[in-house]
Amino acid sequence: MSITTAMKTWLFVAAIMGGLAVLFSAFGEHVLAPRSVATFATGARYQLTHALAMGLAALAARGNAKALAERAAMLFFIGILLFSGSLYGLALAGTRILGIVTPLGGLALIAGWVVLALAALKLETS
């Protein structure tokens, strides 16, 4: 299997997101007030899960599935920023208005899974 630039890029971003999720989880457990830990932990859990999903999308970014897989990776990235980012902000700053953004991030994550499924259908078999 040859590695494309898109695969390399999304694998790199996925690895960074995964590492940050672990770092954020440790930070949340040791620094935040008990009430905020659950919200922060939810953001980190979704970030880590979808960092792995971005890695899957990167691996699928080839042949007929390339465009859809890249779109899925982008949706996962946007979803992480909006969903997890808003939960981090909510837990750290208590800014309730960020709760409006969280569902938009969730929709982006769901859309990423749908688009990744469509990409999988386009993958060529040997």
Q: What is the pLDDT of residues 4-54, one digit of tens each?
A: 888 889 889 999 999 899 898 888 877 888 879 899 999 999 999 999 999
Alpha-helical (H) ranges within 4-101 are: 5-31, 34-60, 66-79, 85-93
Residue 73's Cβ-side half-sphere holds a number of Cα atoms within 13 Å equal to: 27
Q: Look at residue 119 in the predicted model and tell me its pLDDT.
A: 94
Amino acid at 115: V
Residue 60 has pLDDT above 80, yes or no: yes
Q: Which residue has the tokens 């750290």?
A: 92
Burial 29-59 (b: 16+ CB within 10 A, else e): eeebeeebbebbbbbbebbbebbebbbbbbb
> How far is the C-alpha of 45 from the C-alpha of 33, rounded, in Å?
18
Find the farthest-apart pair of alpha carbons in the chain and give their distance in angstroms, rounded: 53
